[in-house]
Amino acid sequence: MDVSGESPEHPVSGVSWPDAIAYTRWIDQKLRSWPEVPLELRNLLEKGWRVSLPSEMEWEKAARGKDGRRYPWGNESRDDSGNFRNQKTVRVGSLPCTECVYGLSDMSGNVWEWTRSSYRDYPITKTPNSPNLDLEKDALWVMRGGSFADTERYVRSAVRGAADPGVKRPFIGFRLALSKFQVDPE
């Protein structure tokens, strides 16, 4: 069972932003020390890539693709493509998205997903790609994707949510990403 009480086949939910960040750092370190990590992943990790939450811009590109679609599967709302207007989460991947640009499932609905971006005016022209995140300075953190409890209006790919980092709700979770970080000079 995960922290939300659902089975491991459902998205992890009820997780605060600091808890999600702590998990990404933990799994990043585990993968770096695991002798059987796939070679392609090991090469990326050695080149400065990190397991993290996606930035808001990374999340939106993954959901909208290059053509700016309203939903990951296209421009029309479809009940069979995302878990919304529902009472609970569904199993991860149970609504496959063959039309999605990058083949990612569950980008709309199921749970809001924390990003590593603080809430700022939009559109954002550039998000610093730094692993250094400041909870004291940044009061709200961006969530994307909408949840099982939302209507189709809130699961559109461009919709932004924001929350205090300490919030834990059954409709908030996270997604792992592999991101290229700039290495800070020593």
Paired sense of beta strands 112-118 and 172-174, if any = parallel
> DSSP string of 56-68?
HHHHHHHHHTTTT
What's residue 147's pLDDT?
Answer: 96
Q: How much of the chain, in percent, has pLDDT values that exceed 70?
A: 85
How many whole angstroms separate alpha carbon 41 and alpha carbon 38?
Answer: 5
What angle do helix axes 39-46 and 17-33 make, rounded to 10 degrees?
110
The residue ranges of DSSP E strands in 42-102, in sequence order, are 49-52
How many whole angstroms separate alpha carbon 64 and alpha carbon 99?
Answer: 11
pTM of the prediction? 0.86
How many whole angstroms separate alpha carbon 144 and alpha carbon 109?
Answer: 9
What's residue 120's pLDDT?
Answer: 85
Fold topology of 17-180: paralog of FGE (formylglycine-generating enzyme) (3.90.1580)
What's residue 186's pLDDT?
Answer: 41
pLDDT digits (tens, 9 = 90+) for 130-175: 555 555 566 899 999 999 999 999 999 999 999 999 999 999 999 9
pLDDT digits (tens, 9 = 90+) for 81-115: 888 999 899 999 888 788 888 888 889 999 999 99
Domain layout of the chain by residue ranges: 17-180
Summary count for the chain: helices (H), strands (E): 3, 6
**Considering only CA atoms, which of 145, 162, 143 is closest in space to residue 154?**
145
Q: Which residue has the higher pLDDT, 83 or 185?
A: 83
